[in-house]
Amino acid sequence: MITTRTKLFAILWLAGMAGVLSILLIDLSAILANLPATAGSKMPFHPLVIKLLSVVQTGALLSVAIFIGVQLTPSLGLSAPAAEALATRNSFAANGDGFIAALKPQVVPGLIAGFIGGVAILSTWLLFRPMLPPLFVLRAENLNSSMPVLTRLLYGGIAEELLLRWGLLTLLAWAGWRIFQRGRGTPRPIYFVSANLISSVVFGIAHLPLVIALGVDFTLPIVIFIVLANSLLGLIAGYLYWKKGLESAIIAHMSTHVVLIAAIRLTM
């Protein structure tokens, strides 16, 4: 018999894999051509091979993160309300306890938070831009403008939220609850706040390999900018996940990218 938790895993996995597979839309050759240090150089493997390896690796991490969330969220009171409605009732009813009813309360907070997140990242960029090496600025802008919209929305919005919030934040909060409360009673808010802070910083640090990919040297302003800008989004998404649900965090992450895409298009 297929359990509700198994159905939830399948729903979240399919949604996450849509984001992971969107990696295949990235034109690696075009991106490398925009990097002066690598222009005209030959990649060690065919671009498709590199992307397929990325899909396999990220897909494996995604599977682990979803499994962790499915197993641990019930004891913490964390949830993916809309996905859980599909898993338990398979209903799109607007009233009652169906998918749409579960999604509705998460939409507006997600959109507002996404706008705030986008403005916060853009403000951070404008603040740090004069302190960043011109070569980093040029290559970062080229990379952002060449990244497919679907990849930004699906991978950033869905896959990253499943990895960082549903997986990592949940695991950290659960660990705090098990260690300090011995897994008894309602988890204290400090576990969620701490888990959100740590997972957000990890999210920011995870973007540092971008510096290597861009072929520029690390500088303190670059490190602070990358970690800070991405951590801000992580904090916002983590708070929404805790208070509203996973889908609200996904909407916020997607909306942030919409703001950033709009800003890129307006300045082109």
pLDDT digits 0-9 by tens, 234-265:
999 999 999 999 999 999 999 999 999 999 88
CA distances (Å), origin 54, targets 20, 88, 132, 224? 8, 32, 29, 26
pLDDT of residue 83: 96
Residue 39 has pLDDT above 60, yes or no: no
> By C-alpha distance, which of 46, 74, 252, 98 is closest to 173?
74
pLDDT digits (tens, 9 = 90+) for 83-114: 999 998 756 555 556 888 999 999 999 999 99
pLDDT of residue 142: 83
pLDDT of residue 164: 96
pLDDT of residue 34: 57
- Which residue type sits at 164? L
Q: Residue 12's pLDDT band (boundaries 50, 70, 90)?
A: very high
Say which residue, 101 or 39, is predicted with more confidence. 101
Residue-averaged pLDDT of the chain: 90
Rounded to whole angstroms, how far apart are CA atoms 206 and 62?
A: 15
Residue 16 has pLDDT above 90, yes or no: yes
pLDDT of residue 98: 84
Residues 6+ apart with CB under 8 A from 106: 81, 82, 240, 244, 245, 247, 248, 251
Q: Residue 48's pLDDT band (boundaries 50, 70, 90)?
A: confident
Rounded to whole angstroms, how far apart are CA atoms 264 and 92?
A: 36
pTM of the prediction?
0.91
CB 200 within 8 A of CB 229: no
Residue 31 has pLDDT above 70, yes or no: no
* Average pLDDT score over residue span 227-240: 95
pLDDT digits (tens, 9 = 90+) for 154-211: 999 999 999 999 999 999 999 999 999 999 999 999 999 999 999 999 999 998 888 8
Least-confidence region, from 17-26, 54-63, 106-115, 212-221: 212-221
pLDDT of residue 32: 63
HEC secondary structure over the chain: CCCHHHHHHHHHHHHHHHHHHHHHHCCHHHHHHCCCCCCCCCCCCCHHHHHHHHHHHHHHHHHHHHHHHHHHHHHHCCCCHHHHHHHHHCCCCCCCCCHHHHHHHHHHHHHHHHHHHHHHHHHHHHHHHHHCCHHHHHHHHHHHHHCCHHHHHHHHHHHHHHHHHHHHHHHHHHHHHHHHCCCCCCCCHHHHHHHHHHHHHHHHHCCCHHHHHCCCCCCHHHHHHHHHHHHHHHHHHHHHHHHCCHHHHHHHHHHHHHHHHHHHHHHC
Residues 6+ apart with CB under 8 A from 250: 110, 157, 158, 161
Q: Number of folded domains in the chain?
A: 1
**Host domain of residue 31:** 4-267
Q: Which two tokens stand for residue 202?
A: 């990890």
Matching residue, tokens 């011109």: 134
Rounded to whole angstroms, how far apart are CA atoms 119 and 194?
A: 24
